[in-house]
Amino acid sequence: MTTVTGSAHPAFALSAITTAGGIIGYAKSGSRPSLIAGVSFGVLYGAAAYLINANKSGGVELATATSLLLTAAMAPRAVRSGGKAPVPTVLTGVGAGALWYYGGKYYGQVYGV
C-alpha cells in the first residue's frame, strides 16, 4: 500500500468532493452539466494528486490550474446570486483556497522559497 504524501492530501480530497458533488447534482436535479463538471474536476484533481504523490513533475501545476479553473467557473455564479446560492459560493471559496495552497507550492518550486 502506498503512503499518501502531505501535498497530495488536498488534491485527493478535492477529487472525491467534486466527483461526489457532480453525482449528487445529477441525482437530485438531473443536471448533466453538474455531472460532467464534477467528474471532470474530480479526474483533474485525482491526476494531480497521483502525480504529486508519485513525486512526478506536473502535479502541483495541474492542481494549481484546476483550482484556478474551478474558481473562475464558480465565482461569476456566486456573485450573480449575491452569495445566496450555496454551491457556487462554497466551490468558489474551496477553489480559491486550493489555488492559494497549490499556487504557493508552485511559487516555492519555481523560486526555491
The verdict on residue 59 lying in a domain is: yes
- The pTM score is 0.93
The verdict on residue 3 lying in a domain is: no
Give the count of domains, the chain: 1
**Whole-number pLDDT of residue 6:** 87
Give per-residue pLDDT as tens, 39-95: 999 999 999 999 999 999 999 999 999 999 999 999 999 999 998 999 999 999 999
Surface-to-core class of residue 69, CB atoms within 10 Å of its CB (0-12 exposed, 13-18 middle, 19+ buried): middle
**Whole-number pLDDT of residue 4:** 79
The verdict on residue 62 lying in a domain is: yes
The verdict on residue 60 lying in a domain is: yes
Q: Which domain holds residue 84?
A: 8-111
The verdict on residue 2 lying in a domain is: no
The answer to whether 42 and 22 are in contact (CB under 8 A) is yes
